[in-house]
Structure 1
Amino acid sequence: MGIMSFLRERMGTILVVVIGLALFAFIAGEVITYGRSFMSGDRNTLGEVAGEKIAYEQYMDKVKQNTEMFMQQSGQTSLTPQITDYVQENSWNQAVSQIILKKELEKLGIVVGTDETQSMISGKNVSPQIAQYFTDQKTGQLNREALNNFLKQMQTAKPNDPMTQQWSNLVASLIEGKRSEKYFSLVHNGLYVNSLEATDSYEAKNKLAKFTYVELAYSTIADNKVTISDDDYQTYYNEHKGQFKNPQELRSLEFVSFNASPSKEDTAAIKSQVEKLAADFKASTNDSLFVQINSETKAPLAYQKKGQLDPQLDSVMFTAAPGFVYGPYVSNGSYKLAKLVDSRVGPDSVTARHILISAATAGGIDKAKAKADSLKKLIEGGRPFAELAKNFSEDKQSGEKGGDVGTFGRGAMVPQFEEAAFNGKPGDLKVVESQFGIHLINVLSQKGSSKVVKVATVDKPLVASNKTQSAAYSKAQAFLGNVSGSNFAEEAKKEKLSIRNAEDVAGTASTIPGVESARELVKWAFNKAEKGDVVDQVYTLGDQYIVARVTKIKPAGTLALEDVKDMIKPEVLIQVKAKQFSSKLQSALNGSSSIAQVAQKAGVQAIPVENIVFANPVIPGLSLEYKVIGTVFGMQPNKISKPIEGAHGVYVVSLNSFQNPAPLTNNIREKQQLSQTLLQQADNRLFDALKDKANVKDYRFKFL
């Protein structure tokens, strides 16, 4: 009683001390861990190549550049998770390759001299990367005068001028490209095909074999009739261990999803909401403002030709009168209303030039507009447009060509630029504002004539209501509360949920089968989970709530037998069948003097084939059989082989004869073909070897 009384009286003090010590231990541990990580640079190291670190910022700069390049080339304004994965993986491979190549270049002392650099920039054979910016559109030839003027500008440009930095980056990339070209030339020049190799290749393609075979096909025994022992698995694994090298850690998940897509009630409510807007939309006198206020997508209104609208609108808008409202209709996951604002006959394409004045450079949009108006007056007074474009336009690419932006169709330019170019007439000078600044546009010519329409569209996405989302989330949360690593399948079966699997997921993956935008789930699986762990929360992925469990971890390096057992089972089955068939055929061989006798004892037919070449090891009607054809071309006529374990079955063969080709009198063509094959394979093989030697370490899953 005395002890209990003592504890009750002092429990508050004891708890404070205990909790304080626990907190101190926790915080101290975190500080030490953080400090160790920070001091070692791990918090910013995305990977390592031959001991050289790849910084997170360095990698993300490359991803940003590649993303912008992809969007510019493809015309897309956003990227899908799959394309994002592709860009990130491509950027990683570029970073790894650059480090590997840089080390090889430094080791060999490969450099590009001043004269070589000058030759690439302004010599007889200007680099195509530079030439593309200074090519005369009319002649297709390099405009030397424009190039030389630009180079003079670069000599006097300020160091902080963005154009100076871009030019320096371009020249640096050309130099690195030239160094790489020299390196690969060294490798390629070291490749050689001798006369013996040429002769062997010629005979492999032209020497004909005629033989007879007996086969016991693996398909004649059902898989469920074969028993595989642990020794069978181990034997196959030991013989093929080199095939099970895993370049990066992979993890497998099983998961259930709770659908939070819009219900029938949600869809009906959104449709009703759009229907109520229809009358106001029809009566609206400012359709652009109406779209900005009521539409989820704030797209500017622009004239479009037939084929550019939603298919449902194409059939009605080109015959309707202005003010006509169509819908509600469903398109791209939204309920929509469309109103015909205007229709007219306009040109199909326009040729124009412009001078761009940036608001930032001019000191504000008003000053930029005033400058454009001043330039317009100078042009109207007789000053050449091309001269002013070269001196004042901030679009340097077109400015060097006198402001010429070429010929373009509808949809190629920003709406404000397009409106001015297509609605004006040849010779017009127009000042318009866009997100890029103020444009002084000169319409040079217009071609073609077709009907175009301006359609205003209001959209409301089909999304689940809070009620629908809450119901699905509650079910997912309840399931998560009931599961553990051992009862996942049992609980899923009880709730009548289908378990889906995501096998061999990489640490940088952003999708898993059937689920896009799964990046956060993958990060959990790699950063916080061990084998058998269930998620620590319900993950919201698109319109699904996901509860998942890690089922398998395959570490980088040579995988253990257990990690590949399911994968190799089909091959092990074949190996077990092959042992049985080899024994059967060996018994048939004993005492047999001909292939016909072997076939009779084995209970199968002897099948003759002819015109088989070593370079194409296919048995007609079956499959590629490298071992069988290789054995045939190493035999003497009228001899019978031992059992051969092939891809389709186990064989015994008897060579009848060879038909030799005419002697190779000129091996030059054969050498050229072999050399070309070597060159095509050399670069990839070289990089694979260098990459393997570089001991590449990938930590991206911790960051992305």
Structure 2
Amino acid sequence: MATLQKIRNRGVFIGIIIGGALLAFIAGDALKSGGSLLANSRNEMAEIAGESINIRDFQKRFNHSVEVAKLMSGQSAIPSDQIERMREQVWQQMVQEIVMNREYDELGISVSSDELFDMVQGRNIDPTIRQLFQNENGTVNPEQIVSTLKQLISAPNGTPQKAYWLNIEEAISNQRTLTKYNSLIQKGLYMPNAIVKDLANRGSKKVDFNYIVKSYNLISDSTVTVSNDEIQSYYNEHQDLFKQTESRRIDYVPFLIEPSTEDYKATEKWVADIKGDFTSEINNIQFVDLNGDTKFNPYYFKKDEIKNKDLQEFSFTGKKGEVFGPYFENETYKLAKISDIKMLPDSVKARHILIRPIKGDMKSAQAKADSLKTLIEKGARFADIAKSNSDDQGSAVNGGDLGWFTQGKMIQEFNDAAFNSKKNEIKVVLTKFGAHVIQVTNLGKKVKKVQLAIIDRKVEASQKTTQAAYAIARTFAGNNQDKDSFFKAISDQKLQRRTANLKRDTKLIPGLENSRDLVRAAFKNDEMESILLNNENSGVFEFGNKFVVAILSDIKAEGYAAVKDVASTIKREIRKDKKAKLIIAELTRDSKGAQSLLSVAQKENLELKNASGISFQSFQIPGAGIEPNVISTASILEKGKLSSPVKGNQGVYVLLVTNTSEDKVTNETINVYKSRLEQGYQYRTNYQSYQALKDNANVVDKRYKFF
């Protein structure tokens, strides 16, 4: 089963293929049971193209993905942040699978068994399979693949490697199907030669020009009136600009859970009471780890590295075993014991040879490191051994040399070995990276350093204090359950009021730890007249060191924003248009009959500016910003001719082209340009075609009900 282990060892690469960004699908027919459970709306987490998706079906698929991830990584548990990413990935894969499978069926696109055979062990082996089975020389032996498949076929159902292989087959099959679909769409794209030639010619021309710009800010907003009828008319004509996704706004009051005076006194007393036991304790590491909030730190401090002046003085005048404190810093009471005193080098220069364990076999790695150590001690050159054996390729090319480094820069085991070695002494040290053969080649000046064993206890709110804060929050929630009383009580009691705008997929409200439950509550409630309730039907939510009482204050449905919600934005655009007309009239008048752009600038008291190397394809004008109207005007303006006023994003411009240059456009240039344009359109098509199908599928996302 060596090849199966190899599959597992290369799990990261395959994970990219299997789980990558909407282009791969996880196999399974868990969704097929969704329709029969349509009536059970409590378990419906989504509707896609009219198909009901049950939370249990989703969870089954998600759990499957988690198990595959564990197999690939060798981990027994997946970190919480990765779990969230995987949950989102599985959702996106489900949506794409349903949406695209409908399209595949309609178009008759599929992958035959013969085609799959060819991708796995035929003449056209898929890159994923090739990566798994390629030898050191980069070739693939089909017999090795066949041998592995025979082992997998004979393995019992549920064997992790067998399930993993089925995932790989499904992934490459789905990827091939998607590739066929994208190719079909892309073959329908056509870029006419005449258009390409015109764009190439436009792009080949570059201009230098002078310009003046009269900013819209020079006209006061108060002098330009905008009526409600104008706002409504603009809204009607530009409604597509005001599309919005569903969102909700909440107002909430945080009630802080802060330690009381009694909590500070109790924490200080606890630390003071343990001082005697700490002083008499021999095993400082164990005592700190068992009693402190922070694990024992083996670091040896120089005098200037201890910022607390009183502790610094104690540490470098006291004796080993003496205890300082209690002292208070960073909301924490502490005791510091002098655990050790040494004369240590300020820095060391070292080299190493790293032997990484194969399949987690640290004993074999250590044995190889020991044998290399023996070779070096018998006269072999360290640098030669490092170059030919070290798995740390970054240092191997330099004979294993790591240069000079100070204490704390390396992983702890490596650090301790280096700083406690004699010059040229060779040691073998084990770290999480493998077995290291270490040799310190030079030592910095030795200085006095102390190792401190520190017992720390952070001051936190006691249960009594927490209950008191909860009682205040509960009383507020109980007495102010409707919108009017909620806001009145905030004002009367001079409480802190905060607002949050939420979307269905909002994971965290700034300032509130793990606040997803509050987001879910906001989207479960359609009433804006009562406070939000948590899963225990209480109006008090707890997030870290805060209790929160919240009310739903606004609902924005998916679709188009109401006129009143975008009136200020519209007013700003209309006002800008009116200012532009006024400025255009002024500049037209002042530039009439003008002999130069400078004379216009002087009349308007404007600065004459210049830009160079601007073409039709330029994205922005240095010093002016993104001004597409100005760029297009400059690219076609006759040299030496004053332009008419041009309405831009920042103001109104007048231009004068001072120089033009043009690169020769050959057939080869046009072909390269065409290829680049087609490639860009193809990339866009892959995304936009799916988005169009997804929009047509009317995806109704109800995940907020469950997580």
Q: Please report the TM-score for the alignment, with normalisation by the length of structure 2.
A: 0.66
Choose from 508, 531, 534 the match for 1:534.
Answer: 531
Q: Which moved more, 1:127-136 or 1:152-161?
A: 127-136
> Aligned equivalents of 1:165 and 1:471: distance in 2?
53
> Do the aligned residues in 1 keep the contact of 2:611 with 2:622 (CA within 8 Å)?
no
Secondary structure of the structure 1 residue equivalent to 2:484? coil
1:523 matches 2:520: yes
Alpha-carbon offset, residue 251 of structure 1: 0.4
Residue 630 of structure 1 is matched in structure 2 by 632
> Aligned equivalents of 1:114 and 1:514: distance in 2?
54
Distance 1:269 1:289, change over 3 A: same
Secondary structure of the structure 2 residue equivalent to 1:251? strand
Distance 1:171 1:210, change over 3 A: closer
Alpha-carbon offset, residue 583 of structure 1: 3.4
Choose from 447, 463, 466 the match for 2:463.
Answer: 466
1:485 matches 2:483: yes
Could you report, residue by residue, the CA deviation over 1:512-558 in whole angstroms, capped at 9, with x for unpaired residues? 12222112221221112423543351221111121222222110122
List aligned pairs for 1:261-340, cutoff 5 A.
Answer: 261-263=258-260, 265-277=262-274, 279-280=276-277
Q: What 5-or-longer segments of structure 2 have no aligned partner?
A: 1-34, 343-351, 362-390, 394-409, 414-426, 444-449, 534-538
Alpha-carbon offset, residue 613 of structure 1: 1.7
Residue 649 of structure 1 is matched in structure 2 by 651
1:475 matches 2:465: no
> Aligned equivalents of 2:356 and 2:580: distance in 1?
76
Could you report, residue by residue, the CA deviation over 1:14-67 in whole angstroms, capped at 9, with x for unpaired residues? xxxxxxxxxxxxxxxxxxxxxx99762322221122223332133334555666
Alpha-carbon offset, residue 624 of structure 1: 1.5
Secondary structure of the structure 2 residue equivalent to 1:57? helix
1:48 matches 2:38: no
Could you report, residue by residue, the CA deviation over 1:314-339 in whole angstroms, capped at 9, with x for unpaired residues? x99xx999989898799999777899
Distance 1:606 1:168, change over 3 A: closer
Residue 548 of structure 1 is matched in structure 2 by 550
Could you report, residue by residue, the CA deviation over 1:229-259 in whole angstroms, capped at 9, with x for unpaired residues? 323432332343212222x421012222121
Secondary structure of the structure 2 residue equivalent to 1:116? helix
1:106 matches 2:105: yes
> Aligned equivalents of 1:142 and 1:447: distance in 2?
35
Residue 695 of structure 1 is matched in structure 2 by 698
Distance 1:334 1:447, change over 3 A: farther
Distance 1:251 1:73, change over 3 A: farther
Q: Which moved more, 1:462-471 or 1:550-559?
A: 462-471
One-letter amino acid of the counterpart of residue 105, structure 1: Y
Choose from 685, 689, 699 the match for 1:686.
Answer: 689
Distance 1:39 1:444, change over 3 A: closer
One-letter amino acid of the counterpart of residue 255, structure 2: F
**Percent identity over paired residues:** 29
Distance 1:355 1:501, change over 3 A: closer
> Aligned equivalents of 1:486 and 1:150: distance in 2?
70
> Aligned equivalents of 1:278 and 1:219: distance in 2?
68
One-letter amino acid of the counterpart of residue 528, structure 1: N
Could you report, residue by residue, the CA deviation over 1:133-168 in whole angstroms, capped at 9, with x for unpaired residues? 5566x7777687765543232122222434333332
> Aligned equivalents of 1:534 and 1:202: distance in 2?
62
Distance 1:312 1:479, change over 3 A: farther
Residue 672 of structure 2 is matched in structure 1 by 669
Could you report, residue by residue, the CA deviation over 1:246-275 in whole angstroms, capped at 9, with x for unpaired residues? 2x4210122221211334643453354245
Distance 1:529 1:336, change over 3 A: farther
CA-atom RMSD in angstroms: 5.3
Residue 156 of structure 1 is matched in structure 2 by 154
Could you report, residue by residue, the CA deviation over 1:609-655 in whole angstroms, capped at 9, with x for unpaired residues? 46432211534422211223334556667877665432101345567
One-letter amino acid of the counterpart of residue 513, structure 1: P
Alpha-carbon offset, residue 701 of structure 1: 1.6
Could you report, residue by residue, the CA deviation over 1:44-103 in whole angstroms, capped at 9, with x for unpaired residues? 22112222333213333455566674998799977577x766554443323222222222
Alpha-carbon offset, residue 561 of structure 1: 1.7
Could you report, residue by residue, the CA deviation over 1:665-690 in whole angstroms, capped at 9, with x for unpaired residues? 42222223223322332322222222
> Aligned equivalents of 1:258 and 1:602: distance in 2?
62
Aligned residues between the structures: 580
One-letter amino acid of the counterpart of residue 668, structure 1: N
One-letter amino acid of the counterpart of residue 178, structure 1: R
Distance 1:588 1:75, change over 3 A: same
Could you report, residue by residue, the CA deviation over 1:465-521 in whole angstroms, capped at 9, with x for unpaired residues? 123323333333344324742354543343333322212x11232311222211222
> Do the aligned residues in 1 keep the contact of 2:326 with 2:333 (CA within 8 Å)?
yes
List aligned pairs for 1:174-573, cutoff 5 A.
Answer: 174-209=172-207, 215-223=213-221, 226-246=224-244, 248-263=245-260, 265-277=262-274, 279-280=276-277, 351-352=356-357, 447-448=437-438, 462-480=459-477, 481-482=479-480, 484-486=482-484, 488-503=486-501, 505-531=502-528, 533-536=530-533, 537-565=539-567, 568=569, 572-573=571-572
Residue 29 of structure 1 is matched in structure 2 by none
1:97 matches 2:87: no
Distance 1:466 1:629, change over 3 A: same
> Do the aligned residues in 1 keep the contact of 2:611 with 2:621 (CA within 8 Å)?
no
Q: What 5-or-longer segments of structure 1 have no aligned partner?
A: 1-35, 357-405, 413-424, 429-442
Secondary structure of the structure 2 residue equivalent to 1:48? strand
List aligned pairs for 1:17-28, cutoff 5 A.
Answer: none
Residue 366 of structure 1 is matched in structure 2 by none
> Aligned equivalents of 2:639 and 2:271: distance in 1?
84
Could you report, residue by residue, the CA deviation over 1:101-132 in whole angstroms, capped at 9, with x for unpaired residues? 22222222222233432343344665454455
> Do the aligned residues in 2 keep the contact of 1:595 with 1:606 (CA within 8 Å)?
no
Distance 1:80 1:239, change over 3 A: farther
Secondary structure of the structure 2 residue equivalent to 1:448? strand
> Aligned equivalents of 2:164 and 2:412: distance in 1?
28
Q: Which moved more, 1:468-477 or 1:536-545?
A: 468-477
> Aligned equivalents of 1:72 and 1:602: distance in 2?
73
Residue 398 of structure 2 is matched in structure 1 by none
> Aligned equivalents of 1:606 and 1:230: distance in 2?
37
Alpha-carbon offset, residue 227 of structure 1: 4.4
> Do the aligned residues in 2 keep the contact of 1:282 with 1:325 (CA within 8 Å)?
yes
List aligned pairs for 1:30-179, cutoff 5 A.
Answer: 40-64=39-63, 69=69, 86-123=85-122, 126-130=125-129, 147-179=145-177
> Aligned equivalents of 2:131 and 2:499: distance in 1?
49
Q: Which moved more, 1:506-515 or 1:115-124?
A: 115-124
One-letter amino acid of the counterpart of residue 56, structure 1: I
Alpha-carbon offset, residue 343 of structure 1: 13
> Do the aligned residues in 1 keep the contact of 2:214 with 2:583 (CA within 8 Å)?
no
Could you report, residue by residue, the CA deviation over 1:432-454 in whole angstroms, capped at 9, with x for unpaired residues? xxxxxxxxxxx996533699x99
Distance 1:672 1:160, change over 3 A: closer
Secondary structure of the structure 1 residue equivalent to 2:528? coil
Distance 1:494 1:290, change over 3 A: same
> Aligned equivalents of 2:260 and 2:74: distance in 1?
35
> Aligned equivalents of 1:551 and 1:65: distance in 2?
40
> Aligned equivalents of 1:591 and 1:296: distance in 2?
76
Alpha-carbon offset, residue 458 of structure 1: 7.2
One-letter amino acid of the counterpart of residue 538, structure 1: V
Secondary structure of the structure 1 residue equivalent to 2:483? coil
